[in-house]
Chain A
């Protein structure tokens, strides 16, 4: 290169060597934490200490989603059941609603009319959801539904009744 270009090259590099690291550090430092879903209302939030009897645990109910599923009972024999969903990897949906539906849930895009909304699931946060009373009497399914995308994201069969009547499946 000729001398004026070499000089210009040196100046550009000197300016970048100061500005870019500063901009990089400022940009990284200003990152916001990812907002998590607000807590679900107390009315449908089961208190964890009530559900101390683990009656079922499975890691592979959700196909491509890596979610650990546990079913807890309040007493033995149970009067109420709760299901715990623990995503092992970040769920890239901001607005997952969790439904329980009696029997097989079918493949429709939206949960069946008679499905129960039992809570919301977000990121990698563990969620404990109270199952409706029919879950003691019949097997059902848990459905994850994205409100924004208006579609069912995943479904898992939850044979709560079979487990209770068939002994301890652990």
Chain B
């Protein structure tokens, strides 16, 4: 864990991040309502609010979904990833306001429970243009709630990062439901080509970014390495690894980050203990491998976080022969000290 980590307190970066986020949301809602009142003088305040919250949530979801692949494609976007969870919670609150106002406006005045009315009010499931789009939005809202409620590090620790990550991948299901909710709902009534084009561009943007990032992400997994009689595999030349950075390779079924620093080579698991971030895409700062996502730190020679932190990742035996790096595919238990290989010995 980073020495500068503050578990509960707000550090400067978080404050700036959240201030920009809140200012952006307030500005968007103000502009949307103001322009909406000018260009749609017949629209009621409730209608403008429903549309404002809905479009703000949709826009924010596109931003959130873009951050991950953008960071994979270009590390300059990494600062956006730092506090992405706050974006997610804000987006959920906007979506909840959109859903809440919609239920009050369209379902609260009948003699049926409003939620029953949302789920059973429309039943033409065989028609695209009359498809009951509101249950799709409600299902997405439930997923977003689950994610917002478990977004804190408390849940991350208790569920374990792989389970937590798997749970939070439901965001893609929510995204699919939301796109359908908009296409089969608002866009059936709003015939302006601009709105359809905006959603189409947003969808294409998210999908293309993810496909590009997935292709780049897959490359290290495609290479296989020849093993010697002692089990070590020949991974790369020392000269291929930039100073204080890592070469990432799939060895023994999982990714290993091989770092070069101060004339030495060490290999540790590529998987950060915090949110499974890619350690091999980080750097060595102050002698410690620093995760690019939120700054957790590990000693390269034993994979352990410096005191008082307790995180540990597996290490790998490594040697340098004739300018090439050899790594043993069998991981050592997390925190096991391994003598770094000396370059040039």
Q: Which residues of A contact B (CB under 8 A)?
A: 1-6, 8-10, 12-13, 16-17, 19-21, 23-24, 26-28, 30-34, 64-65, 91-93
Contact = CB atoms under 8 A, between A and B. Distances in A.
Interface string B145-180: 000000000000000001001100100110110011
Nearest to B276: A1
B128 A27 contact: yes
A16 B221 CA distance: 22
A3 B183 CA distance: 34
A24 B203 contact: yes
Q: Closest 9 interchain pairs by CB?
A: A27-B183, A30-B128, A64-B41, A13-B210, A30-B129, A92-B42, A17-B207, A12-B172, A1-B276
Contact of B200 (A16, A24, A32): A24
Contacts of B176: 16, 19-20
A5 B164 CA distance: 11
Contacts of B276: 1-2, 5
Nearest to A9: B169
Nearest to A5: B165
Given A3-B253, A3-B254, A28-B196, A20 B169 contact: no
Nearest to B213: A13
B67 to A, nearest CB: 14
Interface string B177-201: 0011001100110010000100110
B285 interface: no
Nearest to A19: B176
A32 B188 contact: yes
SS of B interface (majority): helix
Interface residues of B, number: 40
Contacts of B169: 5, 8-9, 12
> Which residue among B162, B179, B255 has the maximum number of chain A CB atoms within 10 Å of its CB?
B179
Contact of A13 (B40, B214, B221): B214
Contacts of B165: 1, 5
B72 to A, nearest CB: 11
B128 A26 contact: yes
Nearest to B41: A64
B162 A8 contact: no
B211 interface: yes
Interface of B: 40-43, 128-129, 162, 165-166, 169, 172-173, 175-176, 179-180, 183-184, 187-188, 191, 196, 199-200, 203-204, 207, 210-211, 214, 217-218, 221, 250, 253-255, 271, 276, 278
Contact of A3 (B43, B180, B255): B255
Contacts of A6: 217, 221
A1 B254 CA distance: 10
Contacts of A34: 191
A88 to B, nearest CB: 13
B210 A17 contact: yes
Contacts of B200: 24, 28
A5 B162 contact: yes
25 contacts: A1-B278, A3-B221, A5-B166, A6-B217, A8-B166, A10-B214, A12-B169, A12-B173, A13-B172, A13-B214, A16-B176, A16-B207, A17-B207, A17-B211, A20-B176, A20-B203, A21-B203, A21-B204, A23-B183, A27-B183, A28-B196, A31-B188, A64-B42, A92-B42, A92-B43
Given A13-B207, A13-B214, A23 B43 contact: no
A32 B189 CA distance: 8
Nearest to A12: B172
Contacts of B255: 3
Contacts of B184: 27
Nearest to A3: B254
A20 B175 CA distance: 10
A33 B221 CA distance: 50
Nearest to B128: A30
Contacts of A4: 162
> Which residue among B173, B199, B203, B250 has the maximum number of chain A CB atoms within 10 Å of its CB?
B203
B229 to A, nearest CB: 27
Nearest to A26: B128
A12 B254 CA distance: 20
B40 to A, nearest CB: 8
A9 B179 CA distance: 19
Contacts of A93: 42
A141 to B, nearest CB: 20
Given A2-B271, A24-B183, A27-B183, 15 more contacts: A2-B162, A2-B276, A3-B221, A4-B162, A9-B169, A10-B214, A13-B211, A16-B172, A17-B211, A21-B203, A23-B183, A24-B203, A33-B191, A64-B42, A92-B42
